[in-house]
A = this chain, B = another copy of it.
Amino acid sequence: MPAPALRNDTLAPAVIDALKARFGEALSTAAAIRLQHGKDESYHAPHLPDAVVFARSTEDVADAVKICAAYKVPIIPYGTGTSLEGQVAALEGGVSIDLKEMNRVLRVSAEDLDVTVEPGVTRKQLNEHLRDTGLFFPIDPGADASIGGMASTRASGTNAVRYGTMRDNVLALKVVLPDGRVISTGRRARKSAAGYDLTRLFVGSEGTLGVITEVTLRLYGIPAAISSAMCSFATIEDAVNTVIMTIQSGIPVARIELADDVQMKAIRLHSKLDVPEAPTLWLEFHGTEASVAEQAEAVQAIAKEFGGNDFSWTTLPEDRKKLWQARHDAAYANKTLAPGKQMWATDVCVPISRLAECISETKKDIAGSFMLAPLVGHVGDGNFHLTLMLDPDDPKDVAEAERLNERLVARALAMDGTCTGEHGVGYGKIQFLEAEHGEALSVMRTLKRALDPDNIMNPGKIVRV
């Protein structure tokens, strides 16, 4: 069983034979299928798996893992392919396990405000399913990602400032381990002090420690009242300072989103919306009618101090939808701004006291570059994104994007921040973990080696062993 040889473009026929015998039509080695599974929504280069298994149950996953484990063949879990740091790339070949057919909502408890889903359920599908229960799942990373993928990358997004990230909202997981054993990492009690927190260990591990096959999530009652607001500012510092003071005042804002002037220009061009080309905040408040009015008034007063213009808030669903459309269009709008370019989305997160400084320095950096790079962010958490617009075939573009990205990460780390607030590591940010974690990275490596001694689970992501 010569392991390295198997990690090439073609698997040993014995592996394919074994998978074929077990999975039949649910195994594919077609080029188009492999290509689709080796690439996510990031700029990072695709790496094709040798085969794709379409799993329909935990047993399917366990069997696929056991076969691969026997031959020490890499396994890469695949949800919707919407990751942003190359998490699904089959760097050393191997077998992609596609989980999108595992898309059943297994159980909803309105009494306990929780739900158990298969990993292929997407967040929109889940909220659609919940529609008549009065409950919702708040985590919204933008893409209609799968819940399994969101757990794997510790996703967060616009509502995290109020509801937390996947770290806070996963109650328990079912996981297939690298040797095919199946474990449950927790129970449905809201809290437990009964041993090591395996749930949190697997959340954010990007498929490098096992394959998630069930996710139990917290749910929330749909707020009695929701109000949204939008407000533009003369400078980005004014916008950011409005955010900082809002957070420091303890106002339980549900969303507080920033876009810079460049991003607003892109949105204006793309969506044909009458929005100003100026730094803009979107806000959302959840609560009772009285409390959302109180929150909106408090933030309006803060925004006014920083010269915020036309602070308008609305509670009507139709108006809210229109208002948020602009924010949701941000990513795709960038293609209008820079036709023919591709997007390299990167994100960092810093303590909120350093957010204004971090954003200002980043804007200066971009101003001194030839590269277009709209800035947008979940600023209530100190988290923001740059979208570097580049031609991947132009070495000058690539070098400049790399330079800006490295400087952004170094800046965030120097401010006691992190190299990624929500996109994760994949292989796109793996080189920054040493600088971020120091000796703690060796502990991550120890954990990886202990749980996956043959390094078959999504090798080359998070930690190299």
Contacts and interface: CB of A to CB of B under 8 A. Distances in A.
A374 interface: no
Given A425-B195, A450-B449, A417 B204 contact: no
A444 interface: yes
A238 interface: no
Interface in A394-452: 412-413, 416-425, 429, 432-433, 436-444, 446-451
Interface in A287-308: 287-288, 290-291, 294
Contacts of A114: 351
Interface residues of A, number: 92
A248 B190 CA distance: 13
Contacts of A441: 195
A332 interface: no
A26 interface: no
A109 B244 CA distance: 13
Contacts of A160: 191
A381 interface: yes
A321 interface: no
Contacts of A209: 196
Contacts of A185: 440
Nearest to A173: B440
Nearest to A216: B416
Interface string A132-176: 000000000000000000000111100010001101100000000
B154 A193 contact: yes
A156 B429 CA distance: 35
A286 to B, nearest CB: 10
Contacts of A194: 418-420, 424-425, 429, 432-433, 436-437
A444 B220 CA distance: 31
Contacts of A25: none
A198 B351 contact: no
Contacts of A165: 191
B351 A195 contact: no
B196 A447 contact: yes
Contacts of A205: 196
A377 interface: no
B204 A201 contact: no
Given A249-B221, A352-B112, A196 B189 contact: no
Interface in A371-395: 381-383
A74 to B, nearest CB: 19
B204 A197 contact: yes
Contact of A450 (B109, B220, B247, B446): B446
A353 interface: yes
A73 interface: no
Given A196-B444, A290-B290, A291-B290, A439 B182 contact: yes
Contacts of A446: 450-451
A162 to B, nearest CB: 11
A111 B433 contact: no
B112 A351 contact: yes
A349 B189 CA distance: 6
Interface pairs A-B: 7 shortest CB-CB: A450-B450, A200-B200, A111-B353, A221-B250, A192-B418, A183-B440, A189-B349
6 contacts: A153-B193, A184-B437, A189-B418, A194-B432, A197-B197, A446-B450
